[in-house]
Structure 1
């Protein structure tokens, strides 16, 4: 499990339209202290799922063959819940569905918005550039 990935009957499903911090990605809280934002986002998703039944509607497969879709627990869209709590970003280029939830989290400085964090897709690009040096 990650902050935007869960396992449904042993099959990994990426939550479509969101992007949560990657493994090894750090962020800072409002006081400048470094946090393991990957671990926190993963824990938040795990707490939303608990031991509840998850239902997913698979929309597509990405270029790596990974399934992507909308997943719900007791009718709650997990992607929307992660974004509105501030522990994932709306991935606007894939879907505009969660932009209002992101604006809500940002305006209230929830989760990742309470401090400093690089958006995961920017962090991945920077990691690739640094490794290419």
Structure 2
């Protein structure tokens, strides 16, 4: 009787440890896509370094592009592409030492070891932010040459749009 009771306590303890471990492993990462170049990762705002995307919402305005003679919200388009790319995958970010001029955390983020910034620029939904980095210029030139993403539209670069949102 004593051994049976001890065995039950031991098995129950093992099951509780396994259950607790499983719960901790299953705890989902919280990723919220703010726009094409900004996410909240477990509540921390991260701005992708070296790229810029059209504005989803800037000073009351949504940036538009013309695609096949139709006005589209190109900032929203870039955001949707990022949402689909991340899906339910784990996002890992490598933070830069210094924040940007607005004190935001700058980082390059990855899904399945693929840079989200490189993916967005190379597929034409982000631009190399040459003012701050030369890292993604080749990817932008590829997208432009192949008329991918926003390169098949009439658009204004996001840094120009922010100067004069129409």
**TM class, shorter-chain normalised?**
over 0.9
In structure 1, the gaps of 5 or more residues are none
Cα separation, 1, equivalents of 2:70 and 2:105 = 35
In structure 2, the gaps of 5 or more residues are 1-33
Match of 1:57 among 94, 112, 123: 94
Cα separation, 2, equivalents of 1:117 and 1:52 = 31
Question: Secondary structure of 2:36's match?
Answer: coil
Match of 1:118 among 145, 149, 156: 156
Question: Secondary structure of 1:87's match?
Answer: coil
Question: Secondary structure of 1:83's match?
Answer: helix
Match of 1:12 among 37, 42, 45: 45
Please state if 1:87 is matched with 2:125. yes
Cα separation, 2, equivalents of 1:76 and 1:84 = 12
Please report the TM-score for the alignment, with normalisation by the length of structure 2.
0.74
Please state if 1:77 is matched with 2:110. no
Question: Secondary structure of 1:86's match?
Answer: coil
- Measured after TM superposition, the shift of residue 62 of structure 1 is 1.1
Q: Whose RCO is larger (CA < 8 A, sep 6+)?
A: 1
Cα separation, 1, equivalents of 2:115 and 2:148 = 18
After the TM superposition, list the runs of 4 or more consecutive aligned residues in structure 1 that deviate by more than 2 angstroms: none
Question: Secondary structure of 1:70's match?
Answer: strand
Cα separation, 1, equivalents of 2:143 and 2:117 = 13
2:6 equivalent in structure 1: none
Cα separation, 2, equivalents of 1:49 and 1:3 = 11
Please report the TM-score for the alignment, with normalisation by the length of structure 1.
0.92
Structure ID, larger Rg: 2
1:37 equivalent in structure 2: 74
Cα separation, 1, equivalents of 2:128 and 2:163 = 17
Cα separation, 2, equivalents of 1:17 and 1:63 = 14
